[in-house]
Amino acid sequence: MYQSQLFTKTRKEAPKDEVSKNAQLLIKAGYINKEMAGVYDYLPLGLRVLSNISNLIRREMNIVGGQEIALTALQDKTPWEKTNRWNDEVYDIWFKTKLKNGTELGLGTTHEEPLTSLLKNHIHSYKDLPIYPYQIQTKFRNETRAKSGIMRGREFLMKDMYSFSADQNSHDKFYEKMKKVYLRIFTQVGLGDKTYITFASGGTFSKYSHEFQTISEAGEDTIYICDKCKLAVNKELIKEQNTCPECGNEKLREEKGIEVGNIFNLGTKFSDALDLVYLNDKGEKQKVIMGCYGIGPSRLMGTIVESLADEKGLVWPTEIAPFKVHLIEIGDKPEVQKKREEIMAKLEKSGVEVLCDDRALRPGEKFADSDLLGLPLRIVISEKTLSSGDFEVKERMGGKVSLLKEAEMFDFVKKYK
């Protein structure tokens, strides 16, 4: 894509009403726009990142047998009353609205109740289990304070998978598998070395649940890390469990963390309340055992900004970058433009997504914008390139600059496909 056609513009100054690094940088770079606190529009570059994150997660969900669905935002109160999560005094994060006839509705913040209800039409026998429906969909949460940019949204994107299993053993196996899947996802988006599986309280049906916490100064949570086992305990649980749950290590290191994912054993909490049963091989009624598995793609995007961006701007891991290569044209000589077209066509033909800065701006402005946008590779084309045959290739992450001949340059870029 040509940058002269991209409708978003960068800003020199960060917006004054934002305190979080992620919102400041993403607005400055034209990736998002603020509607109100905790409510952000995604502009072309921002939506490309968010979609890349969603697609990466989708791929992993499909590998473990996930079946994608899309439940509604508008929620009827009936199933929520059965689980005692409708009353605002018990569950205080609802946005509520009304039909013309006065019927009260809620805006979905999670979907255990409607999904459990609808599956009564589809689960009858043990042969129908296990199943793993999931969705990547907008959720609403009436936060009192929303000062963390896209990390704590009143409206945000969520991937929520739910598991429905016939027995505890089958459930436990899937739950363990999902721990590995989650760590693989966080590694792919560039947070692997900073993200810890974190023990949290488990509720009625299991001793523990698990959070995935990324260490960050911007974190709203506190976690206690066992460096031997590369895991952590969260603040709530540390009161009763002040050693490593795996090795008993007493020397736990305190850090701030951002919760980028969580997985819960739900046991029969929802199948009890909403009567989701199946017949086992003896024809006996049994309650379905459930789990849920959440990752917020928008929160994850914010966390990546908090973790990887530097003083010059955004830094995107290749997997989720809006484009892989930022091709910067210097000067307006026809032969430079011709070479630019040739290189762009060749890169795109080989499957590399290119943003080409063809704007009539000074080199310094283009380089500053390039650092701010944060694409993985910057390649400069100028008269100098044409005469010397050397292409300047800069890696945004780490800042390494290489001078490469044309064939070497194409070879180098291949890694960024």
Site residues (vs a copy of itself, CB under 8 A): 5-9, 11, 30, 33, 35-36, 39-44, 47, 50, 65, 67-76, 95-100, 105, 107, 114, 118-119, 121-124, 128, 131, 133, 138, 140, 142-144, 154-155
Amino acid identity of residue 208, one-letter, is: Y
Give the residue with the Cβ less far from a copy of itself, 146 or 200: 146
Q: CA-to-CA distance for 211 and 197, rounded, in angstroms? A: 6
Give the residue with the Cβ less far from a copy of itself, 92 or 250: 92
Whether 223 contacts 232, CB under 8 Å: yes
Q: CA-to-CA distance for 253 and 49, rounded, in angstroms? A: 33
Amino acid identity of residue 272, one-letter, is: D
3-class DSSP assignment, residue 159 = strand
Give the residue with the Cβ less far from a copy of itself, 65 or 248: 65
CB of 242 to a copy of itself, least distance (A): 35
CA 329, 334, 335, 338: dihedral to nearest 10 degrees? 70
Give the residue with the Cβ less far from a copy of itself, 50 or 274: 50
Give the residue with the Cβ less far from a copy of itself, 99 or 407: 99
Q: CA-to-CA distance for 417 and 413, rounded, in angstroms? A: 7
CB of 142 to a copy of itself, least distance (A): 6
CB of 240 to a copy of itself, least distance (A): 32
Q: CA-to-CA distance for 24 and 20, rounded, in angstroms? A: 6
Give the residue with the Cβ less far from a copy of itself, 71 or 229: 71
3-class DSSP assignment, residue 409 = helix
Number of CB atoms found within 10 A of residue 284's CB: 10
CB of 11 to a copy of itself, least distance (A): 8
3-class DSSP assignment, residue 340 = helix
CB of 356 to a copy of itself, least distance (A): 15
Give the residue with the Cβ less far from a copy of itself, 49 or 225: 49
Backbone angles phi, psi at 42, to 5 degrees: -105, 120
Q: Report the length, in residues, of the chain.
A: 417
CB of 55 to a copy of itself, least distance (A): 12
Give the residue with the Cβ less far from a copy of itself, 110 or 206: 110
Task: Give long-range contacts, CB 8 A cutoff, 24+ apart: 267-272.
Answer: 267/203, 267/204, 267/205, 267/206, 268/205, 269/83, 269/203, 269/204, 269/205, 270/83, 270/112, 270/113, 270/116, 271/116
Q: CA-to-CA distance for 38 and 50, rounded, in angstroms? A: 16
CB of 212 to a copy of itself, least distance (A): 25
H/E run at residue 344: helix 334-349
Give the residue with the Cβ less far from a copy of itself, 163 or 195: 163
Q: Which residue has the tokens 């305990």?
A: 233
CB of 364 to a copy of itself, least distance (A): 20
Task: Report which DSSP code applies to 313.
Answer: B
CB of 260 to a copy of itself, least distance (A): 21
